Structure 1
Amino acid sequence: MAAKIIDGVAVAAKVRAGYRARVEGLKARGVVPGLAVVMVGENPASQVYVGNKVKACREVGLHSEVHSFPADTPQEEVLQAIQALNADPAIHGIIVQLPLPPHYNMRRLLEAIDLSKDVDGFHLYNVGGLVIGETVFPPCTPYGVQVLLEHAGIPIEGQNVVVVGASNIVGKPMALMLLAKEATVAICHVKTRELAQFTILADILVVAAGRPKLITAPMVKRGAVVIDVGINRLPDGRLVGDVDFDAVKEKASWITPVPGGVGPMTVTMLLGNTIAAAERQLERTLLQGSVAAGRTVID
């Protein structure tokens, strides 16, 4: 029997409906969640991704700003812009669109973002927090995978999970998040020998390697859940994942398509992190007001 499809578009729509209600609640209290995107250069793919984020913000009711800089802009100028956004109370989330021009220090820009506004979850504090399960904002793509599994009712606790790909953006945080859910996790990467010996053991296989059709049917255990994070454009223009979808779907129990699987969830979780940041800021403001009022009474 062919695998059931985990429809990321449908799940994202359900999640965003809940987000709209939270945004309306914030607006009723005088707060409009705001997301700022910092983009350097004119990478065509980045322009498409940023456009999708702006459209998603509009759909849910968030305020959004795009701060674009030519590729030859001095890094210090971009850092100053980030500091200004850190100080702007109307902005609750800040992201730096990757990739950056090669002469930029990516880590320096990411670390410049205020922790309370790091909605991409790339700051070292947030990444380190994954180790102890106390990150402020989980990275959006792994977070989206986790939500997809939850919506499909797929258990994580006690499952054997194999993550193919060890990037700082997807693979490593994904492994830590699933480990926190009490899965047994193995991470494979470009130096892994005999990849199939690992993937065939997976109850849940998450693939984020960036290689078209890397995972074939003989590499997948029958009944496994297969999450394909890869997005690759073929010479004929088609988008495909890292999994041989047509073959693997005949062995898997659940599988995500590409496009229409994990992709819609990444932007959705960015919206969720931004809304959460706005809610936290409102809580801090109310708490500070209560403390100030208490001091006034005492005085």
Structure 2
Amino acid sequence: MTALLLNGKELASKKREQLKKDVEQLASKQVVPGLAVILVGEDPASQTYVRAKEKACEQAGIHSVLIKKPNTITEEELLAEIERLNHDSSIDGILVQLPIPEHISEQAVIEKIAPNKDVDGFHPINIGKMMTGEDTFLPCTPFGVVEMLKEAEIDIAGKHAVVVGRSNIVGKPVGQLLLNENATVTYTHSRTKNLRELTNLADILIVAIGKPEFVGAEDVKEGAVVVDVGINRVDGKLVGDVDFDSVKDKASYITPVPGGVGPMTITMLLENTVLSARKRS
């Protein structure tokens, strides 16, 4: 058995075509969705991500504003910039590209963004709403993962989902979203004992730890759905947290790296921005 590919690139392309139509519909009501991205410093990976976001916005017809700030910016100055954008009626979504310099509190930055413009879905108010199943902006990568599963018509309800990793950006929220879809969820992490025993129980295995090819065939149950959120550069090549070549012959579905979860993250960011604009239309 060779696993079927969960192709994020294809689904992202399909969703972006629909988003383009949604943006055109909003434009007919004189509403142009606006996304502001704040980039602090010269981190090469961040610059690459931001360029990809700008390009995606342009293709969808979303008004995109890039605000570059030096590494020397103070926390007070950055928070003042966010406050200005909170009151800018042409901006529907605000995103501060992480990581930011160590002298600035990441939590203070996240909490400064108005919840109704928090298209990254990280504000404590939006996280709380996600926990209780209320309508809110969902964190983009976990949102993308669940959309991929639904698109492939993989039944989530009643399945045992095992999440490897507990970050605030992916691990914790993806588990919560799967719970909201009626899965039984187990979280595992660096302190988990008998990790392999738990991953072998997973009907749906989500791996998000940032360790290249950490999960192999021996860690996966026959016929499991395997979603690899990891992106690691090894010898100039991008690989995931899952050893794709060994796992693909054991899983029923698997995401490739690159071309799996990655393209969905930016797509769900655009979707959240359009959703925010729709609320003011």
Matching of residue 48 in structure 1 with residue 45 in structure 2: no
Q: Is 1:277–2:276 an aligned residue pair?
A: yes
What corresponds to 1:286 in structure 2?
A: none
Take 1:102 and 1:114, find their aligned partners in 2: how far apart are those partners?
22
User: What CA distance in whole angstroms lies between the structure 2 residues aligned with 1:74 and 1:198?
Assistant: 44
Structure 2 Cα separation of the partners of residues 60 and 184 of structure 1: 36
- Cα shift at 1:80: 1.0
| 1:157-213 Cα deviation digits (max 9, x unpaired) | 000000000000000000110001000000001111121010000000000011011
Return the letter of the residue paired with 1:245. Answer: F
Q: CA deviation at 1:77?
A: 1.0
Contact kept in structure 2, 1:12 and 1:264, CA below 8 Å: yes
CA distance in 2, matches of 1:36, 1:20: 18
Structure 1: which 4+ aligned runs deviate by more than 6 Å? none
Aligned partners of 1:163 and 1:207 also within 8 Å: yes
Q: Which amino acid aligns with 2:138?
A: P
CA distance in 2, matches of 1:194, 1:49: 36
SS in 2 for 1:67: strand
Aligned CA-pair RMSD: 0.7
Q: Using the alignment, how far apart are the partners of 2:38 and 2:194 within structure 1? A: 41
1:221-279 deviation line (CA, Å, top 9, x unaligned): 00000000000011x11010000000000000000000000000000000000000000
Query: What is the CA distance between 1:4 and its match in structure 2?
Result: 0.4
- Show the 5 A alignment for 1:69-84: 69-84=69-84
| Distance in 2, Cα, partners of 1:160 & 1:168 | 21
The one-letter amino acid paired with 1:178 is L
Structure 1 position 135, deviation (Å): 4.8
Mapped to 1, the partners of 2:130 and 2:82 lie a distance apart of 24
The whole-number CA distance in structure 2 between the counterparts of 1:194 and 1:41 is 41
Cα distance in 1, alignment partners of residues 193 and 103 from structure 2 = 34
Aligned to 1:289: none
| Greater gyration radius | 1
Helix, strand or coil: the match of 1:162?
strand
CA positional deviation for 1:130: 1.7
- Secondary structure of the corresponding residue to residue 278 of structure 2: helix
Q: Does structure 2 retain, via aligned residues, the 8 Å contact 1:128–1:135? A: no
Write the distance in 1 (CA, Å) between the matches of 2:199 and 2:92: 40
Alignment TM-score, normalising by the size of structure 1: 0.93
Determine if the alignment matches structure 1 residue 152 to structure 2 residue 152: yes
| Matching residue's letter, 2:41 | G
Across the two proteins, how many residue pairs are aligned to each other? 281
1:272 maps to amino acid: E
Match of 1:219 in 2: 219
What corresponds to 1:189 in structure 2?
189
| CA separation of 1:135 and 1:187: change in aligned 2, threshold 3 A | farther
Paired position in structure 2 for 1:25: 25
Secondary structure of the equivalent of 2:222? coil
The yes-or-no answer on 1:38 pairing with 2:38 is: yes
Alignment partners' CA distance in 2, 1:129 and 1:173:
11
